[in-house]
Amino acid sequence: MTAPAHLIKGWCPGALRPMRSGDGLIVRIKPRAGAFSISALAAIADAAARFGSGEIDLTNRGNLQLRGVSDDSYDDAITALRAADLIDRSAAVETVRNVVVDPLSGIDPEHQNVRDVAARFEDVLADDARLWVLPGKFGFSFSGSSEPVVAGRPADIMIAVTAEGFDICLDGAADLRCAVAEGDVIDAVRRLALVFLDLAAKDPALRRMKDAVARSGAGRIFELAGLQASSRSEEAAIGSESAGMLSRADCVFGVGIGLPFGRITADQLGRLCQSAEAAKLKDVFTSPQRILVFPVAERPSAELILEAADDIGLIVVPEDARLQMDVCPGSPGCGNATTDTRGDARRLVGALNGSLSGYSVHISGCEKGCARQSAADFTLIARAGRYDLIRNGVPGDPAALANVEADDIGNAVSRFILDSAS
Ligand code: SF4
The string of pLDDT tens digits covering residues 224-269 is: 999 999 998 766 566 667 899 999 988 999 999 999 999 999 999 9
- Axis crossing angle, helix 71-83 with helix 38-51, rounded to the nearest 10: 160
Q: What is the pLDDT of residues 326-355, one digit of tens each?
A: 999 899 888 899 999 999 999 999 988 778
Cβ(364) – ligand 1 distance below 6 Å: yes
Most confident range, picked from 8-12, 48-52, 150-154: 48-52
CATH number of the domain where residue 278 is located:
3.90.480.10
The answer, yes or no, to whether any atom of ligand 1 lies below 6 A from the CB of 363, is no
Within 13 Å and on the Cβ side, how many CA atoms surround 418? 7
Reply yes or no on whether the pLDDT at 11 is more than 80. no
If asked whether residues 164 and 210 sit together in one domain, one would say: yes
DSSP assignment letter at 85: T
Residues 216 and 261 in one domain: no
Distance 371 CA to ligand 1 centre (A): 8
pLDDT, residue 328, reads 93
Measured from the CB, is residue 44 less than 6 Å from ligand 1?
no
| DSSP one-letter code for 408 | G
Ligand 1 center–CA 260 separation, angstroms: 17
Ligand 1 centroid–CA 287 distance in Å is 21
Asked if residue 202 is part of any domain, the answer here is yes
Domain that holds residue 76: 9-93+248-317
160 belongs to a structural domain: yes
pLDDT at 41 over 50: yes
Task: Please indicate, yes or no, whether residues 182 and 212 belong to a single structural domain of this protein.
Answer: yes
How far is the centre of ligand 1, averaged over its atoms, from the C-alpha of 176 (Å)?
A: 34
Could you tell me which residues come within 8 angstroms of residue 13 by beta carbon, excluding any fewer than 6 positions away? Answer: 19, 26, 27, 28, 65
Same domain, yes or no: 67 and 176: no
Query: Which of these three, 167, 198, 231, is where a domain ends?
Result: 231
Q: Which atom in ligand 1 lies closest to the alpha carbon of residue 382?
A: 7
- In terms of domains, do 32 and 70 share one? yes
CA-337 nearest atom, ligand 1 = 7
Q: Structurally, how many domains does the chain consist of?
A: 3
CATH number for the domain including 344?
Answer: 3.30.413.10
Whether residue 209 is contained in a domain is answered as yes
Average pLDDT over every residue of 209-236: 92
Domain boundary among 269, 290, 317: 317
Cα(410)–Cα(349) distance, integer angstroms: 8
What radius of gyration do the chain's Cα atoms show? Answer: 21
Report which ligand 1 atom has the smallest distance to the Cα of 6. Answer: 5
Tell me the pLDDT of the chain averaged across its residues: 93
Do 312 and 333 have their domain in common? no
Q: What is the pLDDT of residue 233?
A: 76
Residue nearest to atom 4 of ligand 1 (CA): 370
Q: Is the CB of 328 under 6 A from ligand 1?
A: yes
> Using a 6 Å cutoff on CB, does residue 370 contact ligand 1?
yes
pLDDT per residue as tens digits for the range 65-91: 999 999 999 999 999 999 999 999 999
Decide: residue 271, CB within 10 A, 0-12 exposed, 13-18 middle, 19+ buried: middle
Give domain status of residue 299, yes or no. yes
Give a yes or no: residue 16 inside a domain. Answer: yes
How much distance in Å is there from the Cα of 400 to the middle of ligand 1? Answer: 21
Ligand 1 centroid, distance to 52 Cα (angstroms)? 19
Residue 392, phi then psi, degrees to nearest 5: 50, 50
Residue 243 domain-assigned (yes or no): no
* Domain final position from 231, 258, 291: 231
Q: What is the DSSP string of 114-183?
A: -HHHHHHHHHHHHH-GGGGGS-TT--EEEESSS--SBTTB--SEEEEE-SSSEEEEETT-TTEEEEE-GG
Q: Specify the pLDDT at position 211.
A: 96
Sign of the C-alpha dihedral, residues 211, 217, 218, 221? negative
Domain-embedded: residue 390? yes
Distance 345 CA to ligand 1 centre (A): 15
Strand 140-143 relative to strand 157-161, pairing: parallel
- Cα separation, 52 vs 66, whole angstroms: 6
Q: Can you give the pLDDT at residue 123?
A: 98
pLDDT reported for residue 6:
44
Whether residue 265 sits in one domain with residue 224: no
Clarify whether residues 219 and 118 are in a common domain: yes
pLDDT at 352: 87
- Looking at the domain assignment, is residue 105 inside a domain? no
172: left (phi over 0), alpha (psi -120 to 50) or beta: left
